[in-house]
Amino acid sequence: IEPGTLIRGTAGSSLVVDVDGKLVAEGTEAQPIVFTSAVKTSGSWGGLVFVGEAVANVGTGMAEGFPSMPPSYGGSDAAHDCGSLSYVRVEWAGFEVTPGNELNGITWYACGSATKAS
């Protein structure tokens, strides 16, 4: 994603990077990348979700924040690369899908040491 890009999520949406994907979002101080909502209200979209295959303290698990068929996460690839984030802002994100099952602004599941966030 190019510096200065604005991405708007819609109600009930989220951007999910599954185990076979990678998100490279590297903005600059002058041109951050902004993930926001089409409607500027708290909890109006889910945010970013990264699902990896690195070693997790629970072994493998099922990701929260999905109404049905959640992806599994965790594995044995300590360096699993989910991508990179720098000069990124996430706005108006995070909501409860069902009781005890929610999304946050940025949710990391078993992303490894090759993943970069600054």
Query: If pLDDT is split at 50, 70 and 90, which confidence band does 66 have?
Result: confident
Q: Give 65's strand partners.
A: none
Apex CA 62: angle with CA 13 and CA 94, to 5°? 30
| Average pLDDT of the residues of the chain | 95
pLDDT attached to residue 68: 85
| Interval 42-68 mean pLDDT | 93
| Interval 82-89 mean pLDDT | 98
* Of residues 47, 45, 49, 48, the one with CA closest to residue 10: 45
| Residues 8-39: tens digit of each pLDDT | 999 989 999 999 999 999 999 999 999 999 99
Q: How far apart are CA 72 and CA 109, in angstroms?
A: 9
Apex CA 54: angle with CA 90 and CA 97, to 5°? 45
DSSP structure class, residue 17? E
